[in-house]
Amino acid sequence: MKQIFPYESEVDPIEVYNNDIRETFESRPWILLNMVNSVDGFISFEGKAAGLSGPADKNIYQIIRGLADIILVGAGTIRTENYKAPRTPEGTLAEFRESRNQEKRPRIAVISGELNLDPEMGLFAENHPEDKPPLIYTKNASLEKNGSLFSSSAEVIGFQEDELNILKIVENLSKQKAKIVVCEGGPSLNAHLLAADVIDEFCLSISPRAVGGEISAPLLEQPVDSPTALSLDRIILEDEFLFCRYLTVR
């Protein structure tokens, strides 16, 4: 892969992403938003991100996943993309995780207000027996209604509110000992995190495809009150994909 900003150089993406500095906060984890975008600003084609992806993007996707203590995802994305249990990082990726005293595999955390997930899907049914089960954040009413379906396959945490509070979820992620959380969408979750000003890093893969708004979804489902200032830290080029790393200006 070739880095083209801030300087030109051939790079090893595993080394690059794992040597980035990510601060440790006392009150919450470092939150990294990782998404693939078309050149016209959409995150899916025919409902799935796979339509925008390619070998280079899939490689970076797994490298960024390897940074995470917890991967945070909305229920809609879990269903649409048919999530499986995370892969076991190998080689240098595994060595970096061990050097950070992380578990062998990241843990998945799902936000599902209605708890209307299939307990037989791969994410729950195929979780590695050595790992903690996936987390599900939901409303107390939904937990009372459907929680028993996940008694052996997930840790379900309920909240009293009619609408889940993203700051309370982020607070709980910190209680789970997560130092780095990688968010994989979808648009509603992205917007809530941005509005709460808790996204520290944006890793955007710009796909060399244009898809049009009639069949696509935007990166953010709803506007926020004011723009968030970002600083462009790096651009890597591979197979016509641009892999951009932005840091939130604080």
pLDDT value, residue 219: 72
pLDDT in tens, 94-103: 999 999 999 9
| Residue 151 predicted with pLDDT over 80 | yes
Strands (E), 112-186: 135-139, 155-159, 180-183
Among residues 63, 157, 183, 78, the alpha carbon closest in space to that of 124 is found at 78
Model confidence at 217, in pLDDT bands (50, 70, 90)?
low
| Residue 108 predicted with pLDDT over 80 | yes
CB proximity list for 31: less than 8 A, separation 6 or greater: 72, 170, 181, 183, 193, 198, 199, 200, 201
Model confidence at 215, in pLDDT bands (50, 70, 90)?
low
Domains of the chain: 46-226 (3.40.430.10)
* Biggest CA-to-CA distance, the chain: 55
| Residue 250 predicted with pLDDT over 80 | yes
pLDDT value, residue 125: 93
Summarize the confidence of residues 110-125 as an average pLDDT: 95
| pTM of the shown model | 0.94
pLDDT value, residue 82: 93
Give the containing element (helix H, strand E) for 43: none
pLDDT value, residue 44: 81
**Core vs surface per residue 148-177: b (16+ CB within 10 A) or e:** ebbeebbebbbbeeeebebeebbeebeebe
Q: Are 206 and 37 in contact (CB under 8 A)?
A: yes
Percent of the chain at pLDDT > 70 equals: 96
Give the containing element (helix H, strand E) for 237: strand 230-238
| Residue 202 predicted with pLDDT over 90 | yes
